[in-house]
Amino acid sequence: MSLLSSVTSPADLRALPAAELPRLAGEIREFLIDAVTRTGGHLGPNLGVVELTIALHRAFDSPHDRIVWDTGHQSYVHKLLTGRQDFSGLRTKGGLSGYPSRAESEHDLVENSHASTALSYADGLAKAAQLLGQHDRHTVAVIGDGALTGGLAWEALNNIAAAKDRPLVIVVNDNERSYARTIGGLANHLATLRTTQGYERFLSWGKGTLQRTPVVGQPIFEALHGAKKGFKDAFAPQGMFEDLGLKYLGPIDGHDLDALESALGKARGFGGPVIVHCLTVKGRGYRPAEQDEADRFHAVNPIDPYTCLPISPSNGVSWTSVFGDELLAVGAERPDVVAITAAMLQPVGLAKFAKAYPERTFDVGIAEQHAVTSAAGLATGGLHPVVAVYATFLNRAFDQVLMDVALHRLGVTFVLDRSGVTGPDGASHNGMWDMSILQVVPGLRLAAPRDADELRAQLREAVDVADAPTVVRFPKATIGPAVPAIERVGGVDVLLRTGELPEILLVTVGTTAAAGLDAARLLLAEGFTATVVDPRWVKPVDPALPELAARHRLVVTVEDNGRAGGVGTAIAQALRDADVDVPVRVLGLPQEFLGHAARGEILEETGLTGTGVAAQTAAFAKHLLQVPERPARERPARERSNRDLPNRGANQRHAG
């Protein structure tokens, strides 16, 4: 029986002799490498926190003591030590979430998968415990050095430090990385703390006496003046925390179990807010991950753990790579184009641009609000910034988009990767909010390309706009085949007609074009003719759309965005404004937090495949158009002949 399998709760862990802990840490690393390379998931961050997580669960009594992870992708070891050791379905439907999950365990208090939030959660938890008289309850926030670059973390620190008698332990997991190397002034200061030579720090004390414990190095603090000055002076905060008045322990070797337990024990007994600075190595124990400067092992798809090659190599080109290549080409032609991202240079496809134009590339850390307003400054200064982030993370900078960019009519292009259904990362990462949120921004223009050619074209159209914010969005997926238009009406591409006078107008947004085309052909078999269009720019609504709608009896919109306030809602309003009295039905994602599953599974469950769109549209049509059920053999000759329309042949490649 392995040691790990005998640990089903933190109580089991605390019962283990200290001498057994290195063996346990080794077994955990072996488990993670074997399990995560099979399923995919966040490998590097979790290999780096094995000893730290063990020490946390020995020093604190979860769930009575509350441990909040920032971000939650470093919680796999926490899951293992709290009774969740079946990783066979990690990040798949019905399996474990890749982040803390309240539905999985009482030990998961916060489903924390957006960075820089843990300190605010912890501040509130500590205040609640104090007000309720729960003086035996401790609150711990574990935050990476990358997440400390977020402004929200510093707002929280400012408030945490104000209450000297409120117990709260902040564990800084300092591995010098988020998705890639942490950058900026904070990173530089932490680097100084890591490398300044010294040999000891006061980590334990008795009544009137201080003992010394060796640690990795001494930070750039003033020299300690001896035990006679007592605890307060021995822990006198200096450096970046001195103005806040936070107590500081460290730096601690984050892979030394004895040092970690000692430091966390002292922090637990301090009685006020204290920072424990732990130095860890991302990917610890797995040499490919330890030595990988490109951080390819932060999150992995299923790979062979020995060769590190994909188990199922992708046979296509990703949306991200097409964007990255096209931006590089634009950059060569337009010296005024600059790129900005928030700690995601590699994931959003900016690596090639950054290599070619390092002076025109700005990674601001996990600080989306700053990224957007800094972009506003760059635009005001005469440049055209391209801000590339995940769609779900633009939510955090909505006020800056609205008031700092749009209000000033500035030419800033936002490129939203991972839009629509993302899938395995769960509710927090599905980019299903952007087209609803951005609808209310005056002057903003939003494009949703349906294929690679359209992505290239619409990116260029976006950066040509100098007097308003523009947005280009695309999913995390492999790009499918080109979807040609048979004509363009105004700014709207017509993709297919299945009759001379079609009854239904199918308005597809971005990648839902494929589902719309499949649905139109299925509807034809049900006796309904349709026109399939792609508006290309979905905000503002093109004036051609109401005109097209007026020639049909039913309009159905299809988008991989929440149904509330999205593109379909905007089109319905545009029709009303144009006095076009045609019923509109909106198909999209339900306004729910969708659980983790494969992208295809979620699209099928939410009715956004060709079959789903056809079934829902047929139901609408039968009700609204009062069309009786008709067997195929009784359909009129006109409907049967529609199957052989010349323009249908032009789209047969897509159907295959």
Using the predicted structure, report yes or no on whether residue 629 has a pLDDT greater than 80.
no
pLDDT tens profile 595-609: 999 999 999 999 999
Q: Determine the Cα–Cα distance for residues 438 and 461; give it in Å rounded to an integer.
A: 19
Catalytic residue status for 282: yes
Using the predicted structure, report yes or no on whether residue 220 has a pLDDT greater than 90.
no
List residues bridging with 472 in a β-sheet.
415, 447
Provide the pLDDT confidence category of residue 553 given band limits of 50, 70 and 90.
Answer: very high
388 is in an annotated binding site: no
Residues with Cβ within 8 Å of residue 599, at least 6 apart in sequence: 421, 422, 423, 475, 476, 477
The residue with tokens 């991202």 is 341
pLDDT of residue 187: 57
Using the predicted structure, report yes or no on whether residue 630 has a pLDDT greater than 70.
no
pLDDT of residue 481: 94
454 is in an annotated binding site: no
Mean pLDDT over 203-228 rounds to 31
pLDDT of residue 188: 57
Q: Determine the Cα–Cα distance for residues 71 and 99; give it in Å rounded to an integer.
A: 8
Domains of the chain: 4-287 (3.40.50.970), 319-473 (3.40.50.970), 487-655 (3.40.50.920)
Mean pLDDT over 474-493 rounds to 96
Considering the candidates 282, 360, 497, 539, report the single residue annotated as catalytic. Answer: 282
Using the predicted structure, report yes or no on whether residue 638 has a pLDDT greater than 60.
no
20 is in an annotated binding site: no
146 is in an annotated binding site: yes
pLDDT tens profile 51-105: 999 999 999 999 999 999 998 889 999 999 999 999 999 999 999 999 999 999 9
Mean pLDDT over 305-317 rounds to 84
C-alpha 345: how far from its chain's center? 14
Q: And the tokens for 529?
A: 């003719």
Using the predicted structure, report yes or no on whether residue 234 has a pLDDT greater than 50.
no
The residue with tokens 């134009």 is 357
* Angle at 104 (CA atoms; ends 428, 606), nearest 5 degrees: 45
Q: Is 363 helix (H, G, I), strand (E, B) or coil?
A: strand
pLDDT of residue 186: 59
How deeply is 214 buried, as exposed, middle or buried, from its count of CB atoms within 10 A (0-12, 13-18, 19+)?
exposed
Alpha-carbon separation of residue 440 from 374, 443, 470, 623 (angstroms): 22, 9, 14, 32
Portion of the chain with pLDDT greater than 90, in percent:
72
Using the predicted structure, report yes or no on whether residue 412 has a pLDDT greater than 80.
yes
**What are φ and ψ of residue 515, in 5° steps?**
-65, -40
How high is the mean pLDDT of the chain? 86
114 is in an annotated binding site: yes
Higher pLDDT, 634 or 460: 460
Using the predicted structure, report yes or no on whether residue 301 has a pLDDT greater than 50.
yes
Torsion of CA 318, 319, 321, 322, to 10 degrees: 120
Mean pLDDT over 451-472 rounds to 98
Residues with Cβ within 8 Å of residue 86, at least 6 apart in sequence: 95, 96
- Which of 159-173, 206-220, 430-444, 546-560 shows the lowest mean pLDDT across its residues? 206-220
Using the predicted structure, report yes or no on whether residue 229 has a pLDDT greater than 50.
no
Considering the candidates 84, 268, 396, 536, report the single residue annotated as catalytic. Answer: 396
Q: Determine the Cα–Cα distance for residues 42 and 83; give it in Å rounded to an integer.
A: 19
Mean pLDDT over 420-445 rounds to 94
pLDDT of residue 200: 35
Portion of the chain with pLDDT greater than 70, in percent:
85
pLDDT of residue 245: 74
**What are φ and ψ of residue 202, in 5° steps?**
-75, 115
Using the predicted structure, report yes or no on whether residue 654 has a pLDDT greater than 50.
no
Nearest to 68 by CA among 148, 151, 171, 149: 171
Q: Determine the Cα–Cα distance for residues 58 and 214; give it in Å rounded to an integer.
A: 21
pLDDT of residue 292: 77
Higher pLDDT, 384 or 309: 384
Other beta carbons within 10 Å of 102: 12
Are 561 and 588 within 8 A, CB to CB?
A: yes
286 is in an annotated binding site: yes
Angle between helix 257-268 and 50-59 (nearest 10): 40
Catalytic residue status for 396: yes
Q: Determine the Cα–Cα distance for residues 265 and 203; give it in Å rounded to an integer.
A: 9
Q: Determine the Cα–Cα distance for residues 549 and 546; give it in Å rounded to an integer.
A: 5
Nearest to 278 by CA among 196, 224, 217, 212: 217
The total number of residues written for the chain in this structure: 656
Model-level pTM?
A: 0.84
Provide the pLDDT confidence category of residue 238 given band limits of 50, 70 and 90.
Answer: very low
Give alpha helix (H) positions in 136-249. Answer: 151-160, 185-195, 230-234
pLDDT of residue 213: 33
pLDDT tens profile 254-286: 999 999 999 999 999 998 999 999 999 999 999
SS3 for 491-550, per residue?
A: CEEEEEECCCCCCEEEEECHHHHHHHHHHHHHHHHCCCCEEEEECCEEECCCCHHHHHHC
Q: In this structure, which long-range contacts are made by residues 120-124, counting pairs with CB atoms below 8 Å and at least 24 apart in sequence?
A: 120/152, 120/153, 120/155, 120/156, 121/68, 122/66, 122/68, 122/156, 122/160, 122/168, 122/170, 123/156, 123/159, 123/160, 123/168
Provide the pLDDT confidence category of residue 642 given band limits of 50, 70 and 90.
Answer: very low
Higher pLDDT, 145 or 394: 394
pLDDT of residue 538: 97
Mean pLDDT over 247-256 rounds to 91
pLDDT tens profile 383-404: 999 999 999 999 999 999 999 9
- Sign for the CA dihedral angle at 145, 151, 152, 157 comes to positive
Considering the candidates 111, 261, 368, 503, report the single residue annotated as catalytic. Answer: 368
